[in-house]
Amino acid sequence: MLKTRFTEQFGIEHPVVCGGMTAIGTAELIAAVAEAGALGFLTALTQPTPEALLAEIGRVRERTDKPFGVNLTILPTRNPVPYDEYRDAIVAGGVKIVETAGANPEPHLPTFKANGVKVVHKAVAVRHALKAERLGVDAISIDGFECAGHPGEDDVPGLVLINAAARRLSIPIIASGGIADGAGLVAALALGADAVNMGTRFVATTEAPIHENVKRQIVANDERATQVIFREFRNTARVARNAVSEEIVELSRRPGATFADVAHLASGERGRREVLGAGDMDGGLWWAGQAQGLIDEVLSCKEVVEGIVGDAERIIAGRLAGMRG
């Protein structure tokens, strides 16, 4: 068993995390991750109301008595989101670990701290991680450029970013981006991380509540099968490469292009309905990282976690130990 500051401070069996994933981080997946001894995060805004989130927390508790968390992503939206009410639902549900992302979590920290909730903040740059540490968060999840989602505008890959963060932070670090196996876990630990976060790997599991076509496509894809989009709008995102992402890139590069020119293609609702729901792999945008190239089969969450941790232990005790003169 691998013990780190993260496992000890957060009461988790293995140094493995399934971070928040919109429309995917629901009770079925997160309970399975928890039962496997890892830490999974429900996504608060996947639920249409704070009351629905509270009910979803209850659905997780019906399936597991092990620790789990909730992701609260704070972003500017066309329609106002009652973030305070979602925060209060998390507290009312007795959840003791929260993953914040997007905007500054400072307004929510006093409530979380007063209720004994540990906060993991997601960052894509060391400077942002240092600010979050000063604000009092309990851990940092640092996202390298390989990750799915929004990796920021600095384009720093994990091999450098994880190490740079570890040199300057004093709180536990969760490494994210390009990690899908035991070798990635060992590498992250060697760079100074205390755990790893995986998104794409957990999408390709039997418990992920999405169409099987998506899971099969991840297995079929290699590390080149992603697309970086929205670069021109200073909102860089990494998604799976498909007809829609290619069209977005083409339209975005035209002189004078604005986000309005691609908004109909980039609709999250469209991606959830056509891709995750109906299995049309060219029906909309869907998120995937470069770790696709390391995923060879769809497994259960238990098989994923046990396989990664077991492989990591064998690498540490075998190959690496054998290199000592």
Share of the chain above pLDDT 90, in %: 93
* pLDDT score at 53: 98
What was the pLDDT predicted at 58?
A: 98
pLDDT at 4 over 80: yes
> At 138, is the secondary structure helix, strand, or coil?
coil
Tokens describing residue 226: 């992603």
Beta-carbon neighbour count of residue 195 at 10 Å? 28
Cα(272)–Cα(323) distance, integer angstroms = 47
Is the pLDDT at 72 greater than 90? The verdict is yes
Task: Please state, in angstroms and rounded to a whole number, the distance separating the CA atoms of residues 46 and 25.
Answer: 8
DSSP character at residue 205: B
Q: What is the enclosing helix (H) or strand (E) of 319?
A: none
Backbone phi and psi for residue 144, each to the nearest 5 degrees, phi listed first: -75, 165
Say what the pLDDT of residue 81 is: 92
The reported pTM is: 0.94
Quickly name the fold that domain 5-209+297-322 has.
TIM Barrel (3.20.20)
Q: Count of alpha carbons within 13 Å of 275, Cβ hemisphere only?
A: 31
Residue 156: the pLDDT is 96
- Residue 216: both structure tokens together: 């099969």
Where does the pLDDT of residue 265 fall: very low under 50, low under 70, confident under 90, or very high at 90 and above?
A: very high
The whole-angstrom separation of Cα 286 and Cα 276 is 8
pLDDT in tens, 299-316: 999 999 999 999 999 999
Q: What residue ranges do the domains of the chain occupy?
A: 5-209+297-322, 226-287
CA-closest candidate to residue 82, choices 48, 106, 57: 48
Residue 164 pLDDT: 98
Per-residue pLDDT, 166: 98
Q: Please give the helix or strand (H or E) that residue 237 lies within, else none.
A: strand 237-240
Whether residue 322 is predicted with pLDDT greater than 90 in this model: the reply is no
Cα–Cα distance for residue pair 221/109, rounded to 1 Å: 40
Using one digit for the tens of pLDDT, what is the confidence trace for 222-248? 999 999 999 999 889 999 999 999 999
CA atoms of 142 and 239, how far apart (whole Å)? 18
Give me the pLDDT at residue 2, please.
95
What stretch of H or E contains 173? strand 173-176
pLDDT bucket at 217, cuts 50 / 70 / 90: very high
Average pLDDT for residues 12-24, to the nearest whole number?
96
Q: Tell whether the model's pLDDT for residue 325 goes beyond 80.
A: no
What average pLDDT does this structure show over 280-287? Answer: 96
What is the radius of gyration, based on Cα positions, of the chain? 19
The structure tokens listed for 229 are: 């989009």
Mean pLDDT lowest for which of 48-62, 158-172, 248-262, 295-309? Answer: 248-262
pLDDT at 216: 98
Residue 1 pLDDT: 84
Q: Which of 193, 177, 196, 174 is nearest to 288 (CA)?
A: 177
As separate numbers, helices (DSSP H) first and strands (DSSP E) second, the chain gives 15, 10
Q: Which pLDDT band holds residue 38 (cuts at 50, 70, 90)?
A: very high
User: In this predicted structure, what is the pLDDT of residue 47?
Assistant: 97
Residues 6+ apart with CB under 8 A from 313: 1, 2, 182
Name the strand (E) or helix (H) holding 227. strand 226-229
Angstrom distances, CA of residue 255 to CA of 9, 231, 251 = 51, 14, 9
Backbone angles phi, psi at 288, to 5 degrees: -160, 145
Q: Which amino acid is located at 129 in the chain? A: A
Q: List pLDDT tens digits, range 73-128.
A: 998 776 789 999 999 999 999 999 999 999 899 999 999 999 999 999 999 999 99
Worst-scoring range by mean pLDDT, 13-22, 89-98, 228-237, 281-290? 228-237
Query: By C-alpha distance, which of 116, 64, 63 is closest to 90?
Result: 116
